[in-house]
Structure 1
Amino acid sequence: MSEGSTKRDSNALSPAAEINVAPEKQMYTTWPDMIRHWPKTTFCIVSNEFCERFSYYGMRTVLTFYVLNVLKFSDNAATMFFNGFAVLCYATPMLGSIIADGYIGKFWTIFSVSIIYAAGQVVLALASTKKQGASIHPWLDITGLLIIAFGTGGIKPCVASFGGDQFELGQERMLSLFFSMFYFSINAGSMISTFISPIFRSMPCMGQDSCYPMAFGIPACLMILATCVFMAGSFWYKKPKPTMNVFGEVARVIGRAIANKSHSNESLPHWLDHYMDNHCCEHDNFCQKLRIEKRNKKACQKIGFIDDVKSLFRVLIMFLPVPMFWALYDQQGSIWLIQGIQMDCKITSGGLLLLPDQMQTLNAVLILVFIPIFQIIIYPLCSLCIELTPLRKMVAGGFLASAAFLITGFVQLQVNTSLPSLPGSNEAFLSVWNIAKNGCDVSVSMNAQTHKLTYQEYLHLYDDKEKNVPSNYYTIHDASKPPSMSFDFTGACPDFASNKPKFNVTIPKLEGGKIYYIAVTPDGILNPTMVKPDKPTEGTGESAYSILSLTYNQNFAYCRVDGVTATDGYLCDPKRPSDFFYWERAYDYGTDDIIENVVYAPGAGSGNAYSYDFKAVRPGKWHLYKMGTYLAKSVTQKTKGREAINSSLSETGQGDEITSQGGVYVIAVIDDNNTKKIEYFQVVSSNKVNILWQVPQIVVITAAEILFSITGYEFAYSQSAPSMKALVQALWLFTTSIGDSIIVLITALNLFSNMATEFFVYAALLSVRHFMAYGHAVMSSKISININLF
Structure 2
Amino acid sequence: MPGTVCGTNYPLSICFIVVNEFCERFSYYGMKAVLTLYFVQYLHWDKDLSTAVYHAFSSLCYFTPIMGAIIADSWLGKFRTIIYLSIVYVIGHVVKSVGAIPTVGSSDMHIALSMIGLIMIAFGTGGIKPCVAAFGGDQFEEEHGKERQKFFSVFYMSINAGSLMSTIITPILRSDVQCFGGDCYALAFGVPAALMVVALVVFIGGSGMYKRNPPQGNVLLEVCKCIGYAISKRWKRSKHEEKKKHWLDWAEDKYSKRLIQEIKMVLRVLVLYIPLPMFWALFDQQGSRWTLQATRMNLAFVEFYHIMLNALMILIFVPIFDLIIYPLFGCCKINASKEMATGMIFAALAFGAATWVEVNVVKTVVNPAPAEKALLQVLNVAGSPITVNVPNNNLFPDPIAPLQDPAEYVTVPLQASSAELDFDIGWNNTNLKCVQMFNETTANSLIVYSEGGFLNTFSENVTVSIENLNYEIPPGFTMSQNKTVGRGVYSAVSVCHGTPDSCSDVDLGLLDFGASYTFVLSPGGGDSIAVTKMEDVLANNIHVAWQLPQYVLMTAGEVMFSITGLEFSYSQSPANMKSVLQAGWLLTVAFGNIIVLIVAEGAGLEQWIEFLLFAGLLLAVFVIFSIMAHFYTYVNPEELDKVYLDDSKYAARDGKKRRPSDSLQMNKPDKSTKL
Short-chain TM bin: 0.7 to 0.9
- Are residues 1:762 and 2:614 paired? yes
Q: 1:707 aligns with which of 537, 560, 569?
A: 560
1:455 — aligned with what?
Answer: 402
Q: Say if 1:376 and 1:177 are closer, same or farther in 2 by CA, change over 3 A.
A: closer
1:354 Cα offset (Å): 1.3
Match of 2:447 among 514, 519, 522: 519
* Structure 1 residues 124 and 613: CA distance shift in structure 2, 3 A: farther
Quick check: 1:485 aligned with 2:423? yes
Shift of 1:185: 3.4
1:767-786 maps to which residues of 2 (within 5 A)? 767-778=619-630
Render the CA deviation track for 1:56-90: whole Å, top value 9, x for unaligned: 2223345566667776766x887765554332222
**CA 1:549/1:113 → structure 2, altered by over 3 Å: closer, same or farther?**
farther
Aligned pairs, number: 625
Residue type at the aligned position of 1:771: V
The structure 2 residue matched to 1:504, chosen from 424, 433, 436, is: 433
Structure 1: how far apart are the matches of 2:502 and 2:77? 69
Q: Distance in 2 between matches of 1:337 and 1:760?
A: 17
Whether 1:146 aligns to 2:125 is no
| Shift of residue 341, structure 1, vs aligned partner | 1.2
**Equivalent residue letter for 2:350:** A
RMSD of equivalent CA atoms: 4.6
Partner of 2:312: 365
The answer to whether the 8 A contact 2:252-2:260 is kept is: no
Cα 1:481–1:660 shift into 2, 3 Å: closer
One-letter amino acid matched to 1:518? L
Structure-to-structure mapping, 1:728-747, within 5 angstroms: 728-747=581-600
C-alpha distance after superposition, 1:523-548 (max 9, x if no partner): x5xxxxxx8xxxxxxxxxxxxxx556
Do the aligned residues in 2 keep the contact of 1:55 with 1:219 (CA within 8 Å)?
yes
The corresponding residue for 1:476 is: 413
Shift of 1:759: 0.8
1:748 to 574, 594, 601: 601
Which whole-Å deviations, capped at 9, do the CAs of 1:623-671 have from their partners, x for residues lacking one? 655899xxxxxxxxxxxxxxxxxx9998475443445212123455679
TM-score for the superposition, normalised by structure 2:
0.78
Shift of 1:416: 1.1
2:354 aligned with 1:408: yes
Aligned residue for 1:393, secondary structure, equals helix
- The within-5 A match list for 1:274-313 is 274-276=250-252, 279=254, 302-313=256-267
The change in CA–CA distance for 1:139 and 1:30 in structure 2 (over 3 A counts) is: closer
1:87 and 2:59 aligned: yes
* Aligned residue type for 1:773: F
Instruction: Assess if the C-alpha contact under 8 Å between 2:4 and 2:12 holds in 1.
Output: no
2:542 maps to: 689
In the other structure, the counterpart of 1:498 is none
Q: Distance in 2 between matches of 1:157 and 1:767?
A: 28
Following superposition, the deviation at residue 332 of structure 1 comes to: 1.2
In the TM superposition, what whole-angstrom CA distance separates every residue of 1:453-506 from its partner, at most 9, and x where no partner exists? 3332243326xxxxxxxxxx3523435334311333349xxxxxxxxx653111
1:334-387, Cα deviation, whole Å (9 max, x unpaired): 1111111111122xxxxxx2124x335333333333334334434555666x54
Q: What is the SS of the residue equivalent to 1:617? A: coil
Give how far 1:216 is off. 4.1
Residue of structure 2 aligned with 1:420, choices 346, 366, 375 = 366
Please tell me whether the aligned partners of residues 379 and 388 of structure 1 are also in contact (alpha carbons under 8 angstroms).
no
After alignment, is 477-486 or 731-740 more displaced? Answer: 477-486
**CA 1:456–1:53 in structure 2 vs 1: closer, same or farther (change >3 Å)?**
same
Secondary structure of the 1:452 match is coil
Q: What is the distance in 2 between the residues matched to 1:787 and 1:80? A: 48
* Cα distance in 1 between the residues matched to 2:411 and 2:143: 80
Q: Return the alpha-carbon distance in structure 2 between the equivalents of residues 332 and 164 of structure 1.
A: 29
Question: Which one of 379, 390, 396 corresponds to residue 446 of structure 1?
Answer: 390
- The whole-number CA distance in structure 1 between the counterparts of 2:182 and 2:381 is 33
Distance 1:555 1:221 in 2: 52
Q: 2:483 aligns with which of 591, 614, 620?
A: 614
Tell me if structure 1 keeps the 8 A contact 2:72–2:78.
yes
CA shift, 1:761, in A, is 0.4
Question: How far has the Cα of 1:421 moved from its partner?
Answer: 3.1
Pair 1:50–1:615, CA change in 2 (3 A): same
Q: Secondary structure at the match of 1:506?
A: strand
Structure 2 counterpart SS, 1:507: strand
The answer on whether the counterparts of 1:431 and 1:458 sit within 8 Å (CA) in structure 2 is no
Residue in structure 1 matching 2:24, options 52, 65, 85: 52
Q: 2:583 is aligned with what amino acid?
A: A
Identity rate, percent: 34
Equivalent residue number for residue 191 of structure 1: 164
Q: Is the 8 A contact 1:428 1:516 kept in 2?
A: yes
Q: 1:97 to 1:380 in 2, by over 3 A?
A: closer
The CA deviation at 1:743 is 1.1
Whichever residue aligns with residue 85 of structure 2, its letter is: V
Confirm or deny: 8 A CA contact 1:318 1:716 kept in the other structure: no
Does the CA contact (< 8 Å) of 2:406 and 2:535 recur in 1?
no
**8 Å CA contact retained: 2:496, 2:504:** no
Deviation at 1:103, TM superposition (A): 3.8
Question: What SS is found at the alignment partner of 2:419?
Answer: coil
What residue is the counterpart of 1:323 in the other structure? 277
Q: Which residue of 2 aligns with 1:662?
A: 514
- Name the counterpart of 1:698: 551
Local SS of the residue matching 1:156: helix
Which digits, 9 at most, give the CA deviation of each residue in 1:312-352, with x for residues without a partner? 11122321321111111111111111111111122xxxxxx
- How far, CA to CA, are the matches of 2:501 and 2:668 in structure 1? 78
Could you tell me whether the CA contact under 8 Å between 2:374 and 2:443 is conserved in 1? yes
Going from structure 1 to structure 2, the CA distance change for 1:374 and 1:179 (only over 3 Å counts) comes to closer
- Tell me by how many angstroms 1:53 deviates: 1.1
Aligned to 1:355: 303
Higher relative helix content: 2
Give the aligned residue type for 1:772.
Answer: I
Q: Contact 1:431/1:474 (CA < 8 Å) preserved in 2? A: no
User: Amino acid of the residue matched to residue 516 of structure 1?
Assistant: N
Residue 137 of structure 1, CA deviation? 9.0
Task: Output the CA distance in 2 between the equivalents of 1:781 and 1:238.
Answer: 29
Amino acid at match of 1:344: N
* Alpha-carbon distance change, 99 to 382 in structure 1, aligned in 2, over 3 angstroms: closer
Corresponding residue number in structure 2 for 1:377: 324
3-state secondary structure, aligned to 2:217: coil
Alignment match, 1:247 = 220
CA distance in 2 between partners of 1:220 and 1:670 (Å): 56
List gaps (5 residues or longer) in structure 1: 1-23, 280-299, 347-352, 463-472, 492-500, 525-530, 532-545, 561-579, 585-593, 599-605, 629-646
Shift of the alpha carbon at 1:214?
Answer: 5.4
**CA offset at residue 695 of structure 1?**
1.2
| More off after superposition, 103-112 vs 741-750 | 103-112
Structure 1 residue 738, shift from structure 2 partner: 0.9
Deviations for 1:549-605, whole angstroms, at most 9, x for unmatched residues?
689999977445xxxxxxxxxxxxxxxxxxx34569xxxxxxxxx9xxx9xxxxxxx
Deviations 1:747-772 (A, max 9, x none): 221421x2111111000001112222
Matches within 5 A, 1:232-243: 242-243=215-216
Deviation track 1:26-82 (CA, whole Å, cap 9, x = no partner) reads: xx66837999x956xx655443322211122223345566667776766x8877655
Distance change (3 Å), C-alpha of 1:216 and 1:397: same
CA gap of 1:380–1:485, structure 2 versus 1, over 3 A, is same
Amino acid at match of 2:310: N
- After TM superposition, the structure 1 stretch with the greater mean CA deviation from structure 2, 391-400 or 477-486, is 477-486
